[in-house]
Structure 1
Amino acid sequence: MKTFFKIIGGLILLLVVYSVIAMLAFGDNYHYEKSVVINAPKEKVWQHISSMKSFNEWNPWMDLDKNMTVTYTGTSGEVGDKYCWDSKNDDAGAGCQEIRENIANERQRTEMIFKRPFEGQALSDLVLAAEGNTTKVTWSMDTKQETWMKIMRPMMDYQMGKSYDEGFKKLKALAEK
């Protein structure tokens, strides 16, 4: 029984030490970025990125709740094009994403406002670069993290990578048709 408590005590100590180190070592700014090469010209890839409706055709987070309520406002494909989602599912939560900058066939910047399950704000960029007959798409997200969220950064990196991979897989399938 003493061995069991020593193991549990050691695990708790490791968790506390990791938490303190993570809160001190990780900065307040969180950046995640991933790229993929798509076998299609920039103009064709842009068709699937240029508006919030086209983005949501491959947005991996739309799969979290098939019953979520989505509303669109603004002019499609222009600055101010916006969608808001509301889900009873905490994995999807609630919030809005709005185009803040749109440079045709080059780059789109959006702002996300998260309402649930946690309040927050983030900027996301989709950048297209021609590579011969293919297009390199770089997708990034930047946000500020509260101190306690820094503990979850490795798990957040894992989840972001998984979600970006799912989204890129769908985007490739659409753009390479």
Structure 2
Amino acid sequence: MKKNMFLAIAAALIVVIGFGLFKASQLTTIQIVKSVKINRPEKEVFDMVRYLGNFPKWSPFVAQDPTLKYEVKGTDGTVGAQYHWNGNKGNDLGYQEIMEVDTFRLVRMKCTIQKPFVAYPTFDYKFTKTSEGIEVTQDFKLQSSLVDAFFLWVFGAKSEMEKTNQQGLDLLKTATEK
């Protein structure tokens, strides 16, 4: 009886872990593309994203943690400038760095997250003129190991990332259109 129960529990664990690893394999590369249309001049929209000193005006992380501390290092708005943050009582730590600026077309950033986990996502912000204003498209990418992806799956992190990215774009629109 005990042996059968042990085998049943072991089989169930193998199925759950197998399913989890299968789902995690789909999360080793996450790409989230979101966009927003902003009814303001092209330069205002572009500068709101390009200059890291503006980020607190539309950061979903500042909205979620108003006590977050931040600092811009380097020449703001240029390749190499960095936005460092420390929030959630020291539990959120990292920085983002401008990697490329193509005026009125693209701002590319890489992010180094040190806490609560280690990750290196990238963000491309693309700008397109439309009849309704400037469309800002955010292209977020994250590569993860299978083990990290397993935990992303367990905690439903992709869904949370999607919500956070959309919140950031909504705040960008609000901050720019003020």
Is TM more than 0.5 here?
yes
Aligned position for 1:161 = 162
Correspondence list, 1:128-167, <5 A: 128-151=127-150, 152-153=152-153, 155-167=156-168
Paired AA for residue 61 in structure 1? F
Q: CA deviation at 1:142?
A: 1.4
**Structure 2: distance between partners of 1:158 and 1:20:** 18
1:137 deviates by 0.9
Task: Confirm or deny that 1:125 pairs with 2:124.
Answer: yes
Q: 1:104 is matched with which residue?
A: 103
Which residue identity is paired with 2:161?
M
Alignment of 1:8-19 (within 5 A): 15-19=16-20
Q: Tell me which protein shows more helix as a share of its residues.
A: 2
Instruction: Report SS of the residue matched to 2:174.
Output: helix
- Aligned residue number for residue 57 of structure 1: 57
Measured against aligned partners, the alpha-carbon deviations of 1:89-139 in whole angstroms (never above 9, x if no partner) come to 53xx10011111111221100111111111121211111111124111111
Alignment of 1:15-34 (within 5 A): 15-23=16-24, 25-26=25-26, 28-34=28-34
Residue segments in structure 2 that go unaligned for 5+ positions in a row: 1-8
The residue that corresponds to 1:5 in the other structure is: none
**Counterpart-to-counterpart distance in 1, 2:58 and 2:103:** 19
**Cα distance in 2 for residues equivalent to 1:72 and 1:85:** 9
Number of the residue aligned with 2:6? none
Retained in 1: the 8 A contact 2:30–2:158? no
Whether 1:76 and 2:76 are equivalent positions in the alignment is yes
CA contact (8 A) 1:98 1:111 kept: yes
Query: How big is the shift at 1:144?
Result: 1.3
What is the deviation of 1:60? 0.5
Number of aligned residue pairs: 167
**8 Å CA contact retained: 2:94, 2:115:** yes
